[in-house]
Structure formats: C-alpha cells, structure tokens
Amino acid sequence: MGWPSVSRSSARAHPEPSGVWSVGSAPASPEKWGPRRKMLLLFAAGVLSQYSLDVLALGHNSLQALAVRIVWSLGMVTSALLLDERAESSVRLHTAFQSAVASLSFAALVLVTGATASAYFHFFPCIPLIVCLLYPRDSTAATVSGALCGAGAAGLLWVEGRPASEVLLWAGVVVTVALIGAYGVHRFREAQRAENEGRLERARREALETLAISERRRAHSEKLATIGQLAASVMHEINNPVAFIGANLDYLEREVLSGAEVSREELAEVFRETRAGVERVRQIIADLRGFSRMDEEEPTECALADVVSDAARIARLRLQHVARLEVDIAENLPPVLAVRRRLAQVLLNLLVNAGDALEARGRHGSEVRITGRREGERVVLRVEDNGPGFPPHVLPRLFETFFTTKGPEKGTGLGLALSREMVEQFGGSLVAENREEGGARLRLEFPVSAAP
Ligand code: ADP
C-alpha cells in the first residue's frame, strides 16, 4: 500500500501569526520550503516507490497501477508547488485536496489491482484514519476521506452485485471509522488548544508581573528624583534667610562686645529683620510639610490677589534692599483652580529671581511689578522687572532642570523648572520673555475656574 509511515514529529505544535497554536500545520515560516511542502514531496516519492508492493500483490507489473500511482504523486507534487504555507486558507484547501486525491487514488488502485479481491480492499477503513494522523488539525480531511472511501468500497461491492447488506456494512464501517477519526482529531485539537491557552496565560501572567515590577521601580526612582530636587530647592530657599540672620548676629556680636553705642531703633530693626528671617525659615518648613502631603492637597478655587499677597509678603523681605515691589491686580479677577500655597511658592520663586537679577543694579530705580488681568477665558499674571533681562543664550534653557547662571553657591537651577511643572499641574502655563523696554517678564496663564 502507498502510505509512508507517520512520524510523531509531524504532529508538533507551532505558533501561528494570530498567536493561537495549531497542531501539525505549517508555521508562518519565512522559509520557502516549509515542513508541509517537504512532507508532500517526500510522500509523493513514497507513493511512487511503493509500486513494488503492487507488483508483489499481483505477481506481475501493472501499467494501470503505475499510472494511478503517478497521478497520485503528481497530485502531491502539484500541491507542494502551489501551497502557500503562510496562508491558512491555502493550507485548508490543499489539505482537503490531498485527502480527496489520496482517497480517490486509493479506490482506483484497489480497482486496478483486483477490486474486491485486491489485497488492498480491506484497507479502505484505514484511509480516513491515516488522513487523521497526517492532518490532525483539520477534521474536514477525515470527513472527505471517509465519504469517498465509504462510497468507493460500497461502489466496488455494488458493481460486483454483492448483497445490499454487505454494501451497507462496508459503507457503514468506513464511515464509522472516519467519524471516530474525526472525533479523535477534534479531541486532540481541544487538548492542544487547552495546553496552548495555558501556555499563553502563563506568558501573559509573567509579562504582567514583569510590568508591575518595572512600574514599581519607575515609581521608586521618580520618588528618589523628587526627593533629590526637593533637597536642592530647600537649600536654595533656606540659604537667603539663614545668611541674613547670620549677618545680623555678626553685627550684634561686633557692636555689643565692642561696647559701642547702638541706638534702640537700630537694635529694633536688627531684631525685626532677624525675626523675619526666622519666620521665613519657619514658613519654608511649613511649606515643606505641605509638599510632603502634596498628593493629599486638592486644588481649590483661589483668588489670585490672595496668592500674590502671600508671596509678596515673604518676597518683600528679599526685595526691600534691592528693588521696589508694585502689585497691581485687577478687581473682580475670576478665581483659578490651584493649591494656594503652591502657587504662592511659584510666585515667590519668580520674585526671588527678579531680586537676584536686580541686585547688582542697586535699589535706585529698580522695580519689580506684578500685574493680574483677565484676558478672555484666561487669567494672566505678569511678573516683570527692569533688570538686565535674559541673555539670548539663556532664554532657551531657562526651564531646564539644574540650569543656572548663578554659580553653585547661590543657584540650583530648579526654581523655574519646578515652577513651570506646578503651573502646568493646575492647567496653566509659564513662559519667559524679555521686555521691549528692557528687563525680564514671566507670564503665567490660567484657565478661569469652571468650578460652580
Ligand atoms: P536658579 O535661580 O537657581 O538659578 P531658576 O530656574 O530659578 O534657577 O533660574 C534659572 C536661571 O534663569 C537663573 O540662573 C537666571 O540666569 C535666569 N533668570 C531667572 N529669572 C531671571 C530674571 N528675572 N532676570 C534675569 N535672569 C533670570
């Protein structure tokens, strides 16, 4: 008989492009000659070579049997040439075609080797089973083969005038075997699918775990970065008040120990300044406490006049020897949605920067101005100074973290970067530009709060 044996490796499972595993089918291989095509060519050679079995069965050469085997193997070679292993539809079509060719060729072989008396006749029920083994993925192949072989066996018996019961018996046996084979194919596929689904599920779970781990790591490193930035900005903010508290103590020590006459007014001024410095540090610590509870703080409606007055109150301590501070906030300015303390922190950053920029110029004529206006559906705050403004090489880098022109002693390069980030958290924007008349302008824009 013309069937080469089936190796178990032909029923391996392969991943398909859709991610669903299939059994015994060709993988979506970029190779020109995939396993299925190679198998067909091998079987074509096997079918031809087993002509020797026909000679043994008949006891002589049979051109008819040879012709049947040639047609059969040509069918396989044609399939091998036309099959596109990457296309599911092509694989299905060729599987059905191969099943039909094999069943019809086998029936023809039985006919030319003695019909019901042929040594092959009793193998009719085996053909659908062999088809199942070769194509365990596709029960259509078993069905096609069962129908054709059943009809073939019954037809040969009927032509010879055998009793109807015998004809029906053979047809029934072949069809039953084909149905059992198709059922086996179905169960095999189910088992494979369950196994592959389990494998996919395991892979999915592993991927999720990996994702969760990397997410945790990312959150952790973000937290570390925030802590680093915070430490730097705390240093920046505390440096100034601590410096003038220290200067005042030096002055007191010098004057008191030398026994020099110090007027009560002067002493009161020194104490007032020192207390203001301590108050500033206390305020920073309070702000930091707020920062550590940042996640809990929900934005609320803030009147910009209040925010500006919070910031100006502290900034005046810095600006009083450097520049005049003017505040001009339009009446009835609509509220914005923000965390008041954090917005005040942003303004304070801008005012401290303005003070730094004006320091070298001397107080005379130096001015810092805050204006607040409504422009359509936006509220716009401008913080301007008449200092040197931003040099052209500085302007594009202002909002880069750690960009500073003040040197490591004084600047951290975090003020503007953090300020912009905070403003954006409240749906606003922060941009910097030079004023036409000279000096710097920081422009904050917020949408008018839509809260009821
Ligand atoms: P830092 O103040 O620590 O340097 P910032 O991010 O607040 O960090 O500012 C970055 C740089 O922007 C400053 O070093 C300075 O060169 C420039 N800058 C900020 N504000 C002004 C201003 N009002 N006038 C001129 N330059 C400014």
Is 335 contained in some domain? yes
DSSP string, 250-307: HHHHHHHHHT----HHHHHHHHHHHHHHHHHHHHHHHHHHHHHTGGGPPPEEE-HHHH
- Do 52 and 85 sit in the same domain of this protein? yes
- Do 114 and 259 sit in the same domain of this protein? no
- Do 36 and 152 sit in the same domain of this protein? yes
Give the domain CATH number at 251.
Answer: 1.10.287
- Do 39 and 179 sit in the same domain of this protein? yes
Domain count, the chain: 3
- Do 39 and 170 sit in the same domain of this protein? yes
Report the nearest-CA residue for atom 13 of ligand 1: 404
Report the nearest-CA residue for atom 23 of ligand 1: 354
Ligand 1 binding pocket, CB closer than 6 Å? 236, 349, 353-354, 357, 385, 387, 390, 394, 398, 403-406, 411-417, 440
- Do 322 and 451 sit in the same domain of this protein? yes
- The best mutation among 404, 418, 431, 442 to test binding of ligand 1, ranked by most ligand atoms within 8 Å of the C-beta, falls on 404
* 417 Cα nearest atom in ligand 1: 6
pTM of the complete model beyond 0.75: no
- Do 196 and 344 sit in the same domain of this protein? no
For residue 398, the CA-to-ligand 1 centroid distance in Å is: 7
**How far apart are the C-alpha atoms of 328 and 343, rounded to whole Å?**
17
Is 210 contained in some domain? no
Please report, for the chain, how many H helices and E strands are present, in that order: 12, 9
For residue 313, the CA-to-ligand 1 centroid distance in Å is: 21
For 328-392, the three-class secondary structure string (H helix, E strand, C coil) is EECCCCCCEEECHHHHHHHHHHHHHHHHHHHHHHCCCCCEEEEEEEEECCEEEEEEEECCCCCCC
**How far apart are the C-alpha atoms of 337 and 446, rounded to whole Å?**
8
- Do 285 and 357 sit in the same domain of this protein? no
* Count of beta carbons in the 10 Å neighbourhood of residue 76: 25
- The best mutation among 346, 348, 398, 401 to test binding of ligand 1, ranked by most ligand atoms within 8 Å of the C-beta, falls on 398
Is 167 contained in some domain? yes
pLDDT digits (tens, 9 = 90+) for 272-318: 989 988 987 887 776 566 545 545 568 899 999 999 998 888 788 77
Is 215 contained in some domain? no
* 413 Cα nearest atom in ligand 1: 8
**How far apart are the C-alpha atoms of 153 and 127, rounded to whole Å?**
11
End-to-end CA distance of the chain: 88
Distance of CA 268 to the CA centre of its chain: 63
Q: Answer for the pair 136, 128: CB distance below 8 angstroms, yes or no.
A: no
Report the nearest-CA residue for atom 18 of ligand 1: 353
Last residue of a domain, one of 244, 273, 293: 293
Is 287 contained in some domain? yes
- Do 237 and 196 sit in the same domain of this protein? no
For residue 349, the CA-to-ligand 1 centroid distance in Å is: 9
The alpha carbons of the chain give a radius of gyration, in whole angstroms, of: 45
Is 411 contained in some domain? yes
DSSP code for 186: H
For residue 395, the CA-to-ligand 1 centroid distance in Å is: 10
Is 25 contained in some domain? no
What residues of the chain score a pLDDT lower than 50? 1-30, 291, 294, 452
* 383 Cα nearest atom in ligand 1: 23
Give the domain CATH number at 340.
Answer: 3.30.565.10
Last residue of a domain, one of 238, 259, 293: 293
**How far apart are the C-alpha atoms of 400 and 398, rounded to whole Å?**
6
C-alpha pair distances (Å), 220 with each of 197, 290, 293: 34, 21, 17
Is 68 contained in some domain? yes
- Do 50 and 177 sit in the same domain of this protein? yes
Last residue of a domain, one of 274, 293, 312: 293
Report the nearest-CA residue for atom 11 of ligand 1: 404
| Token representation of residue 185 | 């194919």
For residue 126, the CA-to-ligand 1 centroid distance in Å is: 89
- Do 303 and 447 sit in the same domain of this protein? yes
- Do 281 and 305 sit in the same domain of this protein? no
Which range of residues forms the domain containing residue 190?
A: 8-14+30-203
* 349 Cα nearest atom in ligand 1: 7
**Nearest alpha-carbon partner for 48 in 81, 15, 31, 71:** 71
